[in-house]
Amino acid sequence: ETGVTQTPRHLVMGMTNKKSLKCEQHLGHNAMYWYKQSAKKPLELMFVYSLEERVENNSVPSRFSPECPNSSHLFLHLHTLQPEDSALYLCASSQDGAGIGEAFFGQGTRLTVV
Amino acid sequence: GEDVEQSLFLSVREGDSSVINCTYTDSSSTYLYWYKQEPGAGLQLLTYIFSNMDMKQDQRLTVLLNKKDKHLSLRIADTQTGDSAIYFCAESIVIGGSYIPTFGRGTSLIVHP
């Protein structure tokens, strides 16, 4: 149990569907992130929220839309995705400004776009 | 180029030592990290080193930091089959006042009998 929970674990969606990924952390952290993990590519930082405000949007296409309603929850809303968006989407959290800056990860959502 | 670079694969025999190398770009990173990802799981912090240290030892793990060359390495002594995983080197970069972990591609460590 890492303290960061992602749902669903697996998702298959068509290119015209709308779906959402959910992340929840029970660690009292004030920063949350979305990363995309594709084969043979660096872990790509997509979005960063610190104190519930977005501080980074790393040139991510608008078909990905994040939402952070409070410090414990982070969503990634998906619509009209492309097959190349198939990847493992990882959520992480950390306590910004304290400790060693360790990031705690969820187990990820394996997304397949068909 | 990438902020953090590391080789993609390493294959070792059980009982041997493994050395995974990494180069990074941000010299202002206060800490440098090694994360481990096992199949079907997220990343988990394995060890870290403070940027003013040259070496850190933690049981079978030894981290070496060459700040001048921006080179970080992870040595695993007496490598076991359970060490098979993907190992990520990471630095922290400042974005909007927040320290954000930035990762390389990861090195897949394969341990064979």
User: Each residue of A71-107: pLDDT tens digit?
Assistant: 999 999 999 999 999 999 999 999 877 778 889 999 9
Q: What is the mean pLDDT of residues A32-46?
A: 88
Give the long-range contacts of residues A66-71, CB within 8 A, separation 24 or more: A66/A34, A68/A32, A71/A29, A71/A30, A71/A32
A19-30 pLDDT tens trace: 999 999 999 999
Sort out which chain B residues have CB atoms less than 8 A from A40's CB and list them.
8, 105
Calculate mean pLDDT across residues A47-68.
86
Question: Using an 8 Å Cβ cutoff, are A24 and A12 in contact?
Answer: no
Quote the tokens at residue A91.
Answer: 């959520």
Q: How far is B79 from chain A (nearest CA, A)?
A: 24
Q: Is the pLDDT of residue B66 over 70?
A: yes
Paired residues of A84 in beta bridges: none
B97 vs A45 pLDDT, higher one: A45
> How confident is the model over A3-19, as a mean pLDDT?
95
**pLDDT above 70: residue A2:** no
Beta strands A44-50; A53-57: pairing state: antiparallel
Whether B45 and A92 lie within 8 Å, measured CB to CB: no
Is-contact B51 B65, C-beta < 8 A? Answer: yes
Average model confidence (pLDDT) across chain A? 91
A83 touches chain B (CB under 8 A): no
Question: Is residue B96 left, alpha or beta, with left meaning phi > 0 and alpha meaning psi from -120 to 50?
Answer: left
Task: Please give the C-alpha separations between residue A87 and each of A97, B59, B94, in angstroms, as whole numbers.
Answer: 30, 34, 26
